[in-house]
Chains A and B, each alone.
Chain A
Amino acid sequence: MTITNVTSEVIGSVWKVEMNVGDAVKAGDTIMILESMKMEIPVEAPVDGKLAEFMVQPEDSIDEDQVLCTIES
């Protein structure tokens, strides 16, 4: 079993979370949507697996490279 960190490529805030812990994800699925520079930026799963943990929630400020959630696969 490997844990993959899902990180933010941009600085901004969390707008909405589209999935829950335990949900199965496929690479490319949208996990959450960030707001950055007045734009909605989808965060896509980098790998197939299961959502293990969320480190952020809506309205949280986030930095570039910050870990948003983890995927177990």
Chain B
Amino acid sequence: MHDRELKSESDEDSKKSAETPINEELYFRRVSALEMGGKEAVERQHSNGRLTVRERFKELTDSESFREVGTLGGSGEYDENNKLVKVTPAPYVAGMARINGRTVAIGGEDFTVRGGTTFGAARRKGGQGGFIEDLAHYYKIPLVNLIDGAGGTVTSAKRRGYVAFPGVHGFERSVQLLGEVPVVSAVLGTAAGGPAGRAILSHFSVMVRGTSQIFAAGPPVVKRSLGRDIDKEELGGAATAVDKAGTIHNAADTEEEALDQIRRFLSYMPQNVWELPPVIPCDDPVDRCETALRDIVPEKRTQPYSMHDLIELVVDKDSSFEIQPTNGKSVITTLARLDGRVVGIVANNPKFYSGAMDASSAHKQIRFMELCDTFHIPLVFLVDVPGFMVGLKAEQEATLREGMRAVYVAGQLTVPTLTLVIRKCYGMAGMATCNKNDIDLKLSWPSGEWGSLPVEGGVAAAFRRDIANSDDPKAREKELEAELRAYASPFRTAEAFAVEEIIDPSETRPILCEYIALAESRLRANLGPKRKAGVSP
């Protein structure tokens, strides 16, 4: 808008208004707002490899769509005659704008003004409990947070005369929004305190490798509390916050890419939970049968294959967007489209822990299932899971508890779920790939195999005495395995209608497209916020 404002004021028609503005004070105040923290501060922001908040808005939103609210917020300085001398703009810029033609509420700290630290009247503009969150809430539009600030400072106490109790201007609205409208955050600087909290209270968050960090507390606090020296990149850069911890969903190499990821994420989302996600025209043929899918699973059961390739062969061309690609890697969570309709894909990754569910992949799957359930996005499970991850480390990380939480959340889903077994589907981790409380529709490829636990290992435990008493224990174990494996044929389960259909892998796309189209009436009948469930394990 600023460009447009300045442009429109320098247009032929209104050329004079730039020189002799209709209201000199309004013009002066607007210009002050656009100057942010001043030339030097803007240059410093650029030399740190970062855009200014206004440049970010321009990059992210549809051309000329930004309508600012609170342009004049800030602190004025007046001379002895009460004449305005200078205005320092509030370090938070906000308003509404369009992204891919759809309206969003958008706000972000202006780091060039006091490092983005807001207080007093400016504090009412943005941040948790601020105007911009109210705008998203009352108008039921997505909220975009461009985060570049470290929240409160101890100097506030001096200014105020007392210390505020935590929760004044708290996260109530941020929490409420998570059940109402899509909330997305980009961490574009060093985030701690309230801004960091808001980044987490988002459906999707992204940060930039190298130029952004996020933590509960930064290096000076770590030094004071623990006596350890650590630099902010190691403490809260993307390698820690995204890859290792999963604190933030995705990483980007540049700010532009981070903003691009926000646009991409929002393209799958409805405006709010009372609407369905947008369906777009699809030029990828629905009846595209991929014979390559017939050979994608190696004959040798111990060999992995690329589940990522498999997903790409099935979904609409160029429609996939992976959430958390570098954390909890034994499961893949991807937003995609089938015949233009949005689906959430949960696929086990045989290249990592054989696809076994560990604590971090359980967290990731739970968050993704809850996201899809909240925004009425049907789920497709592409299953190749041997069970929960085993071993001391896995037990120390509470894999069993986290994995059962995934089973619990899957069992509470209200969106249609479709389970397609690619290879293994074993044990309780297998239960987290379907919704037994629902119609529980399960398809399988002929390579599918399932059970309480895989035959190998299971035989050694169940027939311990039989094997030990044999003349040739090794041979006896093999013999028992072969005997049980005969029952493991997926066709026997299909005979018993305990798996609803076995399909030719090449037919996967047309069949999935049909089931997802089928889901529409059901999704429409269940719009609105989700009921809160009981105590998750």
Contact = CB atoms under 8 A, between A and B. Distances in A.
Interface of A: 9-11, 36-42, 64
Contacts of B391: 11
Contact of B393 (A40, A41, A64): A64
B386 A41 contact: no
Contact of B303 (A9, A11, A40): A40
Given A11-B391, A11-B393, A40 B304 contact: yes
B456 A38 contact: yes
A37 B386 contact: yes
Contact of B302 (A9, A10, A11, A38): A38
Q: Residue among A9, A37, A40, A41 with the most chain B CB within 10 A?
A: A37
Contacts of B329: 9
Contacts of B352: 9-10
Given A10-B352, A38-B456, A39-B303, 4 more contacts: A37-B353, A38-B354, A42-B304, A64-B393
Given A9-B329, A41-B304, A36 B393 contact: no
- Judged by DSSP, the binding face of A is loop
A39 B393 contact: no
B400 interface: no
Contact of A37 (B303, B354, B393): B354
A38 B300 CA distance: 12
Interface in B380-437: 386, 389-391, 393
A36 B391 CA distance: 11
Nearest to A39: B354
Interface in B351-376: 351-354, 356
A36 B304 CA distance: 11
Nearest to A64: B393
Contacts of B304: 39-42
Interface string B93-106: 00000000000000
Contacts of A64: 393
A6 to B, nearest CB: 16
A39 B305 CA distance: 11
- Tier of interface size on chain B: 10 to 19
Interface string B448-473: 00000010110000000000000000
Contacts of B354: 36-39
Contact of A39 (B350, B389, B390, B457): B350
7 contacts: A10-B352, A36-B353, A38-B354, A38-B386, A40-B302, A40-B303, A41-B351
A25 to B, nearest CB: 19
A40 to B, nearest CB: 5
B362 to A, nearest CB: 16
A36 B389 CA distance: 10
Contacts of B303: 39-40
A37 B457 CA distance: 11
A41 B355 CA distance: 11
Nearest to B386: A37
B429 to A, nearest CB: 12
Contacts of A11: 391, 393
B306 to A, nearest CB: 12
B463 to A, nearest CB: 19
A39 B301 CA distance: 8
A10 B456 contact: no
A18 to B, nearest CB: 14
A41 B353 CA distance: 9
Contacts of B390: 37
B353 A10 contact: yes
Contacts of A39: 302-304, 350, 354
Nearest to B390: A37
A34 to B, nearest CB: 11
Interface in B444-497: 454, 456-457
A64 B356 CA distance: 15
Contacts of A41: 304, 351
Contacts of A40: 302-304
A41 B302 CA distance: 9
Nearest to B389: A37
Contacts of B351: 41
Contacts of B353: 10, 36-37
A43 to B, nearest CB: 11
Interface string B312-333: 0000000000000000010000
Nearest to A10: B353
Contacts of A38: 302, 354, 386, 454, 456-457
A22 B466 CA distance: 50
A9 B361 CA distance: 14
Contacts of B386: 37-38
A13 B391 CA distance: 13
B488 to A, nearest CB: 15
A39 B385 CA distance: 12
Nearest to A15: B302
A70 B41 CA distance: 44
A38 B302 CA distance: 6
A6 B456 CA distance: 31
The 7 closest A-B CB pairs, nearest first, are: A37-B354, A39-B354, A40-B302, A37-B356, A37-B353, A39-B302, A40-B303
Interface in B77-103: none
Q: Residue among A11, A38, A39, A40 with the most chain B CB within 10 A?
A: A39
Contacts of B454: 38
Nearest to B457: A38
